[in-house]
Amino acid sequence: MIFEGLNLIIRRGEITALMGPSGTGKTTLLRLITRQLIPQHGRILVDGVDISTLSLSGLYLMRRRFGMLFQNGALLTDISVFENVAFPLREHTNLSNRLIRHVVLTKLHAVGLRGAADMMPAELSGGMARRVALARAMVMDPEILIYDEPFVGLDPISMGVIVRLVRRMNDALGITSIIVSHDVAEIATVADCSFLISDGKVAASGSPEELRDAPSDLVRQFMHGMADGPVAFHYDAPGYEEQLLGRDSE
């Protein structure tokens, strides 16, 4: 059982962060929200609709309201940056090539990569790939934008750019953003509300400031990056000395 008794509400128009130590199921929760996985029990309501009971066509209609930024960008590697961003438009609309070009260049301009339109995904750095993926995620003007670990492995400049883009997109387009991350510092600058998930439940919720001042040991350990606390550094193992001396197998 990954989640039990988990209950959270994500408010429209806000940036909501889902945080928690590694292995607590943050990405699994995202996959449940987008129905890449189906829960065994419980309900996931998106705008009042239980997404886990939708038919395939209903699900695909619902997903047109989503945009998702995957951890590694997940760009299609056999087509150019331009075609990657144009992909949802070509699949779901009958727009003319001229109009598609206009929309794609606008979105690429918003992420600062209009000049990279003709490049192939393999030629992009990690930060650039994520910005292109962000342009693709918002090309259909989604109502809900989901970010899976958007800050992992980025240099400080790329990270700053992505943080500003997340905030700007959310405010300018009036969308609802959900970010899965364990980068406390970045989340503090961008999120309106955060949920800290641990042991399959919401351990704490509130603004980043409220979480930082929370009395719970677990929350304090996570928010302040302390080695000692309820979350053990060492995975369960036999005694160190006994194992080194080979007594554990006797």
Partner 1 sequence: MIRIVRDIYDTCIEFVRTFGAFQLFFLRLLRHSPRMLFGRFDLVVKQVFNSGALSLVIIMVSGLFVGGVLGLQGYSNLSRFNAEDAVGVFAAFGLVKELGPVITALLFAGRAGTALASEIGLMKATDQLSAMEMMAVNPVQRVLVPRFLGGVIAMPFLAAIFSMVGLLGTHLVAVELLAVDVGAFWQQMQITVDSKDINEGIFKSLVFGVAASLIAVWEGYNAIPTAEGVGRATTRTVVITAIAVLVFDFMITALML
Contact status: 39 vs partner 1 (CB under 8 A): no
Contact status: 49 vs partner 1 (CB under 8 A): no
Task: Please select the residue that binds partner 1; options are 28, 72, 216, 221, rule is CB under 8 A.
Answer: 72
Stretch that binds partner 1, among 59-67, 183-191, 199-207, 237-245 (CB under 8 A): 59-67
Contact status: 103 vs partner 1 (CB under 8 A): no
Task: Please select the residue that binds partner 1; options are 16, 46, 66, 151, rule is CB under 8 A.
Answer: 66
CB 194 within 8 A of CB 208: yes
Q: Give the Cβ contact number of residue 190 at 10 Å.
A: 23
Minimum CB separation from partner 1 for residue 74, in Å?
Answer: 4
Q: Which of 42, 43, 48, 37 is nearest to 12 (CA)?
A: 48
Minimum CB separation from partner 1 for residue 103, in Å?
Answer: 15
Q: Which of 181, 176, 120, 123 is nearest to 145 (CA)?
A: 176
Contact status: 76 vs partner 1 (CB under 8 A): yes
Minimum CB separation from partner 1 for residue 60, in Å?
Answer: 4
Round to whole Å and give the CA distance between 248 and 179.
43
Round to whole Å and give the CA distance between 231 and 114.
44
Round to whole Å and give the CA distance between 79 and 82.
8
Please tell me whether residue 79 adopts helix, strand or coil conformation. coil
Round to whole Å and give the CA distance between 133 and 157.
17
Q: Write the interaction track for partner 1 spanning residues 119-158; mark x where CB under 8 A is met and - where it is not.
A: --------------x--x---x------------------
Contact residues: partner 1, CB under 8 A = 34, 36, 60-61, 63-64, 66-68, 70-72, 74-77, 87-88, 91-92, 133, 136, 140
